[in-house]
Amino acid sequence: MTYTISPAGLRLIQEQEGFTSQPTPISGNVWLVGYAHVRVGAPGEAVTEAEAQALLAHDIAPAEHAVNERVSQNLTQAQYDALVSFAFSIGVDAFEKSQVLRRVNAGDMLAAACAMDAWRKGEIDGDVQIVEALVRRRAAEKALFLSDCAVISSVVMPPQLDYAASVLGAPQKPGAVANAAPKLAAVPAPVAVEPVEAAAEEESVVIDLGARISAILRSEPATEVLLLTQRVEDSEFAEEDEITTAHAKPVARTLADVREATRRAHAEAQEQNKTPWWSKIVETFSRNDHAQGGFALSFEHGGLAALMIFGLGLVTLAGSLLFDGGADAIQMIAAAAIAAPGIAAALMAGYGFMRAPQPKAVAA
């Protein structure tokens, strides 16, 4: 099923992006006009609100397409609208790699809504910090996303403190919105399009507006590339880390990866400790390098093997002195003196095999 953003979803984006009719510089030769419409190069002409709405519909098309293509679960209209606003805010590439999308596709809508809160930071004057406008936008998107949930009285279910959420909301240096972006004019109420009595007159208005938008877009050759190609740095990723984009450059703090990696490392260590040392010796000497057709032993393993053979040789020599049938006290003392270092060498070699890393196969 293909979804389309509703007037409520458009209204949310308009309220959060803000409206400015005159091109406003944001950095270098990049200008902002209408509802977050980006121009590169010359500032261009001012736009009316109707033109700004048409430009916004054009700009959010990649976000709508991404939500329709990447979400595998059925959505309500409110959930779709909130995800489009979220994807438009952080960028399509960031949305496709976010925990929000993962949770939605897993069917855990509550976790997806909570994951939106991670995208509340922006880079201001080279410093990454919490931005009030992003906190407000995430709250609005989360509220819309969960708007279809049933209401519940606080008397019936008194809220309890969520310590994880309290850590996420710990006081940090807030970012001033004025430093993050130029101050935009207050958002006017969405304009309701009045029906035109004459059909021919209505068609003329639509054609004129479409021609005007086409002319604006043709005058901005770099804009479409900027909007559709989100800048994503590979260095920003671990396995599942959130990323920064060209819109607000939000930064997420994800603890799930660290916890999962710690759990895996602990489980591997426990499993390794449970393996007997003699099994590791057998595994070491039985491991075959399929690429080369031979054993792939390191220098360390070779030394441990030599030590093991030396120790076993001493023990064998001591045994021959004891069990040759005519052992006296002197032979027994000599056998003990020989066997002691042999046993010690064998134990040291066994411990070394247990602690040493497994040999790696030689690449073809």
Q: In whole angstroms, what is the distance from residue 163 CA to residue 359 CA? A: 45
Residues 288-329 have pLDDT tens digits of 444 344 444 566 777 888 888 888 888 888 887 777 766 677
| Inter-residue contact 126 to 159 (CB < 8 Å) | no
Please classify residue 302 by burial: count the beta carbons closer than 10 Å to its beta carbon, then call 0-12 exposed, 13-18 middle and 19+ buried.
exposed
Cross-strand partners of 156: none
Residues 17-69 have pLDDT tens digits of 999 999 998 877 888 999 989 988 888 889 999 999 999 999 999 999 999 99
Please count the residues of the chain: 364
Residues 194-217 have pLDDT tens digits of 433 434 444 444 456 777 777 777
pTM value > 0.75: no
Identify the residue with better confidence: 63 or 253. Answer: 63
Instruction: Please check the confidence at residue 252 and state whether its pLDDT lies above 60.
Output: no
The H-assigned helical ranges of the chain are: 7-17, 49-59, 61-70, 77-90, 92-96, 99-105, 109-115, 132-145, 163-168, 177-180, 199-218, 223-228, 256-274, 277-286, 299-322, 329-355
Q: Rounded mean pLDDT of the chain?
A: 74
